[in-house]
Amino acid sequence: MPYVNVAKENATNIELYYEDHGSGDAVVLIHGYPLSGASWEKQIPVLLDAGHRVITYDRRGFGKSSQPTTGYDYDTFAEDLHKLVTHLKLRNFTLVGFSMGGGEVARYLGKYGSAGVSKAVFIGSVPPFLLKTPDNPEGVDGAVFEGIQKAIMADRYVFFTEFFNNFFNTDVLLGKSVSEQAIQASWNVAAGASATASLACVATWHEDFREDLRRIDVPTLVIHGDADRIVPFSASGLRAAKLIKGASLVTVKDGPHCIIWTHADEVNRELVNFLGKGLAKPAASASRKESAA
């Protein structure tokens, strides 16, 4: 299995597991919490069919990657991504981040610039700044994040069960857009993640990415469900699209947080159209596309 060494913890290598398929312009897919690169299974074949080289990887602490007790911050996550990109010698590639993965996209572009990056996509992502502060009144109260941390420390397996109910909006979509088996599969991946990472990543969700977004100078697409219970649309996707110069915003009507699964056809159409390769069917009326410039 392919791994890239990104750091060390004491004498042990910290390695990221990745998969690299297809040819053409590369698309790097960055997963959300608490999943792995395998969560992109509904996007990978479509992007390959559209003529792209598709790369997924598991964030440190998750999936098949190493599970260190250090490095759970966005500067390190972006550095890990940069080392993967350098290892693969990528050029003219697109960064696509779902949920927490959008933070890597933002920090990567804010820290390393857009050299070699052709486009960026944020799907249900945490930027620009989720924490409510005096200069960010649209954010989420800090007590919410503290409650999540307490729940994880008490019993992360119970926490994941409730988390995925809101991840997929199961009270509305179970048996329609998502099955019990798919939810169980996600829970299994989460249960296999590092306990340290499961807790430490919560504090990263309210990282301030506002300056990172202002530095983005490549074509950017923001896709977000308007029924997202994990990362509220009004606090994230809507504001992110306004901060990124020239960004396009696609709002998925009644879309929960995990629209890459429940609304995969719609997300895939928008991705293929934005990336400019392959033939995509016209977008259904379930999405509302608008300019955020």
Catalytic residue among 52, 206, 224, 257: 257
Tally Cβ neighbours within 10 Å of residue 92: 11
- 112-148 burial, b at 16+ Cβ within 10 Å, e below that, comes to beeeebbbbbbbbbbbbbbbbeeebeebbeeeebeeb
The C-alpha atoms of residue 6 and residue 187 are separated, in whole angstroms, by 27
Catalytic residue among 65, 66, 99, 186: 99
Count of H-run helices and E-run strands, the chain: 11, 9
Give 283's DSSP letter: P
Catalytic residue among 52, 212, 228, 287: 228
| One-letter amino acid for residue 39 of the chain | S
Whether 177 contacts 263, CB under 8 Å: yes
Tally Cβ neighbours within 10 Å of residue 221: 23
Is 228 a known active-site residue?
A: yes
Active site positions, annotated: 99, 228, 257
